[in-house]
Amino acid sequence: MSASPEAPAAGAETPPTGAGPEGRSVRRAVEAPSTSPDPGGLYGRLKAYEGRSAANEGVGKDLVNEPMIRHWCEAMGDTNPAYRGPDAIAPPTMLQAWTMGGLSGHSDRSGAHDELFALLDEAGFTSVVATDCEQEYVRELRPGDRITYDSVIETVSERKTTKLGTGHFITTRMDVRANGKLVGRHRFRILKYAPARRTPQGRRPRPVVNRDNAGFWDGVAAHKLLIQRCTGCGELRFPWLPGCNGCGAAEWDTVEASGAGTVFSYVVMHHPRFPGFTVPEGTAAGDTDPDGDGSGPYAVGLIELAEGVRMISNVVGVPYDKVRIGMPVRLEFLRVDEELELPVFRGGEGG
Ligand SMILES: [Zn+2]
């Protein structure tokens, strides 16, 4: 590759620095009048990591291979014939899959990446959330391709305040190669932040209510479980999203769920224990709390509603070890504390 890191590559987009079309001059203008442009010179130190390596000469743990392609397609429900047979290619969106370290992780991560995270941790930006990723595809991957990659810290944003809290966006760019030639790029952006509001000790965390999902929580307050319906194609969707995955339309209305459902799948939460997730008194039959400390174990179900969409919630009214796939459940509203009410599903009746 001959492109210099300074040159805006084709397809490169503006990181969420708030810099407008005027670019860097805007950033300076913002910094000057601010009351705390760069507390402790932190931003300057973070910025010094731009362009430094986040992972060096990584090697994919497997060659591009048919079993992983098949598993991916099954998990995604992708039946495209291009991904099967003797001339199969790998789905382009698998790009990152070939670079993943698995449970045992990677040994190729650079010191720079860890240092940057340590700096942010020290400054109080201890939480992390992935915000978006984008991929560019240069050519198709085929079984037998040997994957190598390098990763670079591309940008660190100025301090930003979001609804989650204040922090810095970090964009990492991974260049993926097959047999030594560039096949694609994967850009991954996270927000490393200090949470805006800590849930008081022992309380169940509050949901993040925003303009995309406020209607859902209004429904809960009125003891209605509302499902979004695309007014373009009629597709139901849950959880709430600003647009339709089926047709892309932004317009929607809602239908109220009947409250009937079945357990599509479930997990039992044993550890770690979170006091806020105490099994509520009177909502669970039998021995749901063998340790007597009030914090579980408890069952978390993926509930398939009668309307066809699925949602995650607690299964109550049944001992955690008696929850089963296919068990009929019915919606009810659980008052967790004076501010928080949640839709949960009671199982076991006639099941
Ligand atoms: Zn639609």
- Same structural domain, 47 and 179: yes
Tell which of 139, 168, 195 closes a domain: 195
Strand 165-178 to 53-59 pairing: unpaired
Ligand 1 centroid – CA 233 distance (Å):
4
- Same structural domain, 172 and 279: no
Is 68 contained in some domain?
A: yes
Is 123 contained in some domain?
A: yes
Is 30 contained in some domain?
A: no
Report d(CA 54, CA 31) in Å as an integer: 28
Ligand 1 centroid – CA 306 distance (Å):
20
Across residues 184-202, what is the average pLDDT?
83
Ligand 1 centroid – CA 252 distance (Å):
8
3-state secondary structure of 22: coil
- Same structural domain, 48 and 182: yes
Ligand 1 centroid – CA 342 distance (Å):
27
> What confidence tens digit (pLDDT) does each residue in 217-244 have?
999 999 999 999 999 999 999 999 999 9
Total domain count, the chain: 2
- Same structural domain, 189 and 240: no
Q: Read off the tokens for 239.
A: 């959880």
Alpha carbon 144 to its chain centroid, in Å, reads: 30
- Same structural domain, 244 and 277: yes
CATH classification at residue 118: 3.10.129.10
Is 139 contained in some domain?
A: yes
> What confidence tens digit (pLDDT) does each residue in 95-152 have?
999 999 888 877 767 788 889 999 999 999 999 999 899 999 999 999 999 999 999 9
Is 5 contained in some domain?
A: no
- Same structural domain, 184 and 226: no
Ligand 1 centroid – CA 246 distance (Å):
5
Q: Which amino acid is at 210?
A: N
Q: Does residue 29 have a pLDDT over 50?
A: no
Grade residue 79 by pLDDT with cuts at 50, 70 and 90: very high
3-state secondary structure of 99: helix
Q: What are phi and psi of 248, to 5 degrees?
A: 85, -5
Domain that holds residue 126: 39-195
Ligand 1 centroid – CA 232 distance (Å):
5
Ligand 1 centroid – CA 241 distance (Å):
12
Ligand 1 centroid – CA 245 distance (Å):
7
Query: Does the pTM exceed 0.75?
Result: no
Q: Residues for the chain: how many in total?
A: 351
Ligand 1 centroid – CA 254 distance (Å):
13
Ligand 1 centroid – CA 102 distance (Å):
36
- Same structural domain, 177 and 117: yes
- Same structural domain, 190 and 278: no
Across residues 249-278, what is the average pLDDT?
89
Is 4 contained in some domain?
A: no
Is 27 contained in some domain?
A: no
Ligand 1 centroid – CA 33 distance (Å):
46
Got the DSSP string for 200-254? PTTSPPPP---TTTHHHHHHHHTT--EEEEETTT--EESS--SS-TTT----EEE
Ligand 1 centroid – CA 187 distance (Å):
28
> What confidence tens digit (pLDDT) does each residue in 296-327 have?
688 899 999 999 999 999 998 888 889 999 99
- Same structural domain, 143 and 276: no
Ligand 1 centroid – CA 52 distance (Å):
43
Ligand 1 centroid – CA 228 distance (Å):
10
- Same structural domain, 179 and 259: no
Across residues 10-24, what is the average pLDDT?
37
Ligand 1 centroid – CA 247 distance (Å):
4
Tell which of 143, 167, 195 closes a domain: 195
- Same structural domain, 189 and 323: no
Ligand 1 centroid – CA 309 distance (Å):
14
Ligand 1 centroid – CA 80 distance (Å):
22
Across residues 36-56, what is the average pLDDT?
85
Ligand 1 centroid – CA 240 distance (Å):
13
Tell which of 160, 195, 230 closes a domain: 195
Is 281 contained in some domain?
A: yes
Q: What is the CA radius of gyration of the chain?
A: 24
pLDDT value at position 276? 74
- Same structural domain, 189 and 219: no
Spatial neighbors of 20 by CB under 8 A, at least 6 apart, are 26
Q: Name the DSSP class of 144.
A: T
Ligand 1 centroid – CA 238 distance (Å):
13
